[in-house]
Amino acid sequence: MENQIQAFVLISSITLALFVLIGVYLIIRLKLNDILLKRSEEKLKNFNETLQYMVAEKTEELQRSGKKFQSLYELNKEILENSPAGIIKIDKNQEIDFMNQESSLLISKDDDNLKDLHGQSILVIPQFNRAGWASLFNQLKKGSEIEGEESFVKNSKKAIIKIRGVPVFEDDIYSGAVLLLNDNTESILAEEKLRRSFKMLQKATEDIVRAMSYTSEIRDPYTAGHQKKVCELAEAIANEMAISEEQMQGVKFASMIHDIGKISIPSDILSKPGKIGATEFEVIKVHSQTGYELLDRINFPWPISDIVHQHHERLDGTGYPEGLQEKDILLEAKIIAVADTVEAMTSHRPYRPALGIDQALEEIVNNKGTHFDSRVVDSCVRIFKNGFAFSE
């Protein structure tokens, strides 16, 4: 009983640490998104206010003057010049017809070069000389929109500019294109920071989950390494099935701790050398529910507690603890169910010797469609035929 209490205390501490890590990740993500959103909203708000003022001013001017078309031209030009996005108009020969101030700021090294860019061939910009851009410009001539990213130096710092090109046709003949430029540097840097933070938190989460796995296995020396090997096989099956990245993560973490509920089972039952009795088996079966109750306290980004809860369910409803049927069982749980069965049958147990991979594969094939998901079984068989082997 003392060992069980110590195990529960350790698991609870680990659970708290994991909960804090996930909370930190969510806070970082929300903060970064909030900063970027506020900056974008402020920029657009300022531009909209400027645009409304300009339109109102020019409208009054039009009402007072007969120079309608000239005023419209000036209005359009002024709107383009004050756009928060860079705008470049090129002709069919890739000569620049128009470049607004923002685009000059985005792609120029310093202010002295701004005037020199106007009216020159776009190919004088070194970044556009590469073969990749030549190919994109050819796509414009064929009527396709283009999109790419390019690096420029702004104030001695690298700027990452997203460029989108839209072809212009007059009487079905290509007459040039409009290039829209947006500075994506802050967004990309924020994404990179978020990605690094996520990887660090994911690594910390994995380490803590491994610690939880180890804690449950130290009480049962005969199944030491079982969860690790189930994780290896489950990941290999999931890869073979080409499931989503989110589901892959759920399979990985759930399989690493799918038997964590066994910390509540008395050691004399777990390590009993003889055949397990019916009453003892009923005690063992409780581990799925215990695991669920322990993990359900943690707000994982994946349905870990449900996967652990369901890994002994069977398609025909003969599994435990809920007797769920096929449509109610998560795919991740179906994958772990097959991996768990195969690994258990190929490993030594106190009540029987290892049965071997051939017999294990025969077991899942014979129960395909009744106990085990057919796609999961077929994927498992394929990876063993292709040379899969458990690590030592």
The domain that contains 375 carries what CATH number? Answer: 1.10.3210.10
pLDDT in tens, 141-194: 888 888 877 777 666 677 777 888 888 888 888 888 888 887 777 777 777 777
Domain limits for position 146: 85-183
Say what the pLDDT of residue 137 is. Answer: 81
Strands 157-170 and 146-154: antiparallel
Q: Please state, rounded to an integer, the average pLDDT across all residues of the chain.
A: 76
Same domain, 225 and 179: no
Same domain, 223 and 313: yes
Residue with tokens 């799925």: 288
Assess if residue 90 is contained within a domain: yes
Q: How confident is the model at residue 70 (pLDDT cuts 50, 70, 90)?
A: very low
pTM, to two decimals: 0.58
The domain that contains 125 carries what CATH number? Answer: 3.30.450.20
Same domain, 172 and 304: no
pLDDT in tens, 297-322: 888 888 999 999 999 999 999 999 99
Task: Please determine, for residue 214, whether its predicted confidence score (pLDDT) is greater than 60.
Answer: yes
Same domain, 283 and 379: yes
- Reading the block at residue 52, the tokens are 């409304």
Say what the pLDDT of residue 385 is. Answer: 95
Q: Say which amino acid occupies 61.
A: E
Same domain, 161 and 223: no
Same domain, 121 and 246: no
Q: Among 28-42, 190-204, 282-296, 339-353, where is mean pLDDT lowest?
A: 28-42
Assess if residue 342 is contained within a domain: yes
Closest CA to 142 of 121, 167, 179: 167
- Rounded Cα distance, 321 and 332, in Å: 17
Say what the pLDDT of residue 92 is. Answer: 82
Number of domains in the chain: 2
pLDDT in tens, 217-257: 776 666 668 899 999 999 999 999 999 999 999 999 999 99
Average pLDDT rounded to a whole number, residues 71-84: 56
Assess if residue 59 is contained within a domain: no
Write the DSSP assignment of 166-207 as a string of letters. Answer: EEEEETTEEEEEEEEEEE-HHHHHHHHHHHHHHHHHHHHHHH
Assess if residue 3 is contained within a domain: no
Residue with tokens 């009480």: 219
Say what the pLDDT of residue 180 is. Answer: 81
Judge contact between 187 and 36, C-beta under 8 A: yes
* Chain centre to alpha carbon of residue 324: 30
Task: Please determine, for residue 210, whether its predicted confidence score (pLDDT) is greater than 90.
Answer: no
Query: Does a cis peptide bond (omega within 30 degrees of 0) precede residue 266?
Result: no
Same domain, 314 and 380: yes
